[in-house]
A and B are shown apart, each in its own frame.
Chain A
């Protein structure tokens, strides 16, 4: 069988698996966020928090909950790294410097998992398992909570109430993320991912002597890293490391975990707004972009343009033998079209166009299918924009899901789509204009520029993958990327929740013959067009200087 055909069959197998999980998981998540009942463990947790899960919150209160919890998360993770040197169970590893500790704390709480450190030499058991992996759960649960609040904004009328943040946070963690993680971690261990607390130990070698290995709770962190679309690896090589991703089966399983919740949330959305077909329309838009990007990525990587790859006879630099071009390309698209940023192969050594596809995937706003929660709310914002544009074309007041999209709603949506590009382009421009940040580049020319554009794109979009030739462990990059991650995560959430609040207050408008049918395939097409045009107009000049210049030269 040719590698291309094997790659296509892997993609098909993945789609079948996702399709099988779509209905049960999507419906289950809708029940989780709608059920009036609390589990006994949850009641106990609410008592510790001191929160009444029955209290309905309006959007400012919901937002305050999100922000307070996240501020505490950043502070705690920062302090944990700063005192690592004195903590037991930390392998005697030294404390992390302030700028890197800030960057890492911002990174994991914002669901980005950008890493300017090397996991195997810097982070001990306590920080990895008790700090970083915990935020892998909690930042994902926060994203899902905000998405559910927006869905309630569409579903509810004549109220400003969006649910209870603490309840959504706890339920997402306890009922969705934890049970899937327990099963998934064991699947990964069965494949060969390690799960022990052996610390650093000597292991014999074939030619004599020995080498030092890190032991750790790798599988339990790996599974939530993918499931929560986080992406921060236990080891520097991330999911290319054989202890994180041992074989072809684990590779396909990890891609499945990345895409599982983001796709299924469109079903949850459809359930909660009372029209499954509205969810399918969103799903179709996501699927179209995801499949298109995957096909393009496979094409350019199998085609292997670029001098070094032509001499080698294939674009295998930075790719593992057990995954090959197919398994690497599918992973690379899944990770950059969601907010994951895990890698099983190194994007800096992809072809010029391949690196550009990864970059553009993030620049679309990570909505196909996007991060857990953030993918759905990002896509719904784009749907609001699409409805607005379509409304302008036919000269009617736009409506979506029975809610009027007026000036106030459009302002929130427009602010949402402006904030991330503003962060990316401003930070990139300043870094290029200053004399020193450029010293961090490994490659020169267009690819060097791409390294910096990629870094801020990845940070502000909360992806976390890298053109890792960039030496990002400098005060400049630690600080500015840290800021880009926090602003790129929480400022958009403000607009999402404000929009949700304004929608929940409205009276539903009755459907008429002139209402745009947003559950039809035509709307999915308009949505995809809107996404491509908005991202294209924003980023084309920057892309032309980087990956397009590199790709066209080869």
Chain B
């Protein structure tokens, strides 16, 4: 009898405690999951609408992407090709072998950000890096300018963490100058100047890394070519 009573009362206590937990979760969800994000969104949209909505880049009034999100600059896919060939008229971004497309909720065509997750001794990664290096040398060598393999910087042959890296190193941008000048019938000095103008140095001299935004560079290039 006694055992029964204490069991009942302990069940009642547990229920009461779980009820308090549920009410606490509810009220804190309203605070942290509704009011807080709405307030931040309101202020962010008021103060920094450009950034809050994705830092879109416009060309002649038309949106051509985001300054933060890397894109591919490829030729249209030809018959029999599995992956499109790069359009060598434009500055090329880093490889993005870890990028995927959505496998669920396929009513959308989403980009899945991600890395290759291959280790340094992974055979596949070794092959990717070798192939990328050979391609960079071949694509960027012009009749008057031969790219030595030792001049290829590491970012040109490795995939970024997000697969959406919008930037390349200044070294990789400079390496592409001769090719881009040739394909667009521009003087090399003019394209060199373009790269120089679009090179961002470290903030305050030490924060982040020097980089060149590929979309900004290509937008400026298209303006130059007309």
Closest to B64 in A: A206
**Which B residues touch A99, using CB under 8 A?**
none
Check if B121 sits within 8 Å of A68, measured CB to CB: no
A185 within 8 Å of B by Cβ?
A: yes
CB pair A173–B31 under 8 Å, yes or no, is yes
User: For residue B215, which residue of chain A has the nearest CB?
Assistant: A206
| A344/B161 contact (C-beta < 8 A), A206-B215, A311-B126, A327-B209 known | yes
**CB-CB under 8 A for A346 and B161, given A206-B215, A307-B126, A308-B126:** yes
Q: Which B residues touch A68, using CB under 8 A?
A: 14, 17-18, 20-21
B37/A133 in contact, CB under 8 A: yes
Shortest C-beta distance, A44 to chain B (Å), equals: 8
Q: How far is the CB of B90 from chain A (nearest CB, A)?
A: 8
- Decide: A314 near B162, CB < 8 A? Known: A13-B206, A324-B208: no
Given contacts A321-B155, A349-B119, contact A166 B24 (CB under 8 A): yes
B119 near A443: Cβ-Cβ < 8 Å = yes
Residues of B within 8 A of A554 (CB): 120-121
Shortest distance between the CB of B128 and any CB in chain A (Å): 8
Q: B100: which A residues are within 8 A, CB to CB?
A: 118
Task: Verify if B105 is at the interface (C-beta below 8 Å from A).
Answer: yes
A169 touches B24 (CB 8 A): yes
* Chain A positions within 8 Å of B111 at CB level: 120, 211-213
Interface size on B, residues (CB 8 A): 106
Q: Closest chain A residue to B150 by CB distance?
A: A313
Q: Let me know if B188 is at the binding interface, CB within 8 A.
A: no
Q: Are B166 and A242 in contact (CB under 8 A)?
A: yes
- Tell whether A457 is near chain B: CB-to-CB under 8 Å: no
Q: Is residue A480 within 8 Å, beta carbon to beta carbon, of the partner chain?
A: no
Given contacts A194-B51, A248-B203, A442-B117, whether A321 and B168 have CB atoms under 8 Å apart is yes
Residue of A nearest to B41 (CB): A195
Given contacts A217-B41, A312-B154, contact A121 B121 (CB under 8 A): no
Interface 9-residue window, one of B1-9, B53-61, B139-147, B176-184: B53-61
Contact of B208 among A64, A248, A352 (CB under 8 A): A248
Q: Is the CB of A200 within 8 A of B115?
A: no
Q: Is A366 among interface residues, defined by CB-CB distance under 8 A?
A: no
Tell me whether A192 and B51 are in contact in the complex, defined as CB-CB below 8 angstroms, given that A130-B29, A317-B125, A321-B169 are known contacts: yes
* Residues A189 and B161 in contact, CB atoms below 8 Å apart: no
The answer, yes or no, to whether B202 is at the interface (CB within 8 Å) is: yes
Q: Interface 1/0s, chain A 304-338, versus B by CB < 8 A?
A: 01111101111111111111101100000000000
Q: Mark B2-42, 1 if CB is under 8 A from A, else 0.
A: 00000000000010011111111111110111101101110
Determine whether B189 belongs to the interface, using a CB cutoff of 8 Å to chain A.
Answer: no
Asked if B121 and A553 sit within 8 Å, CB to CB, the answer is: yes
| Known contacts A243-B69, A249-B207; A190 and B29 CB within 8 A of each other | no
Which residues of A are interface residues toward B (Cβ below 8 A)? 1, 3, 5-6, 9-10, 13, 45, 48-51, 64-65, 68-69, 71-73, 76, 91-94, 118, 120-122, 129-131, 133-134, 137-138, 166, 169-170, 173-174, 178, 181-182, 185-186, 189-198, 200, 203-207, 211-215, 217, 219-221, 224, 235-237, 240-243, 246-249, 251-252, 305-309, 311-324, 326-327, 343-346, 348-349, 351-352, 355, 442-443, 445, 447, 467-469, 550, 553-554
Lowest 9 A-B CB distances belong to which pairs? A248-B208, A306-B120, A240-B161, A314-B154, A237-B113, A324-B209, A346-B115, A469-B117, A237-B162
Task: Give B residues with C-beta under 8 Å from A.
Answer: 14, 17-29, 31-34, 36-37, 39-41, 43-45, 47-48, 51-56, 59, 62-66, 68-74, 87, 90, 94, 98, 100, 102-105, 107-122, 125-126, 128-130, 133, 152-155, 157-169, 202-203, 205-209, 211, 215, 218-219
Q: Can you list 20 A-B contacts (CB < 8 A)?
A: A48-B23, A76-B22, A94-B105, A121-B102, A133-B33, A182-B36, A186-B43, A195-B52, A205-B64, A205-B65, A211-B109, A221-B37, A246-B51, A247-B208, A308-B119, A308-B128, A345-B161, A349-B115, A467-B117, A469-B119
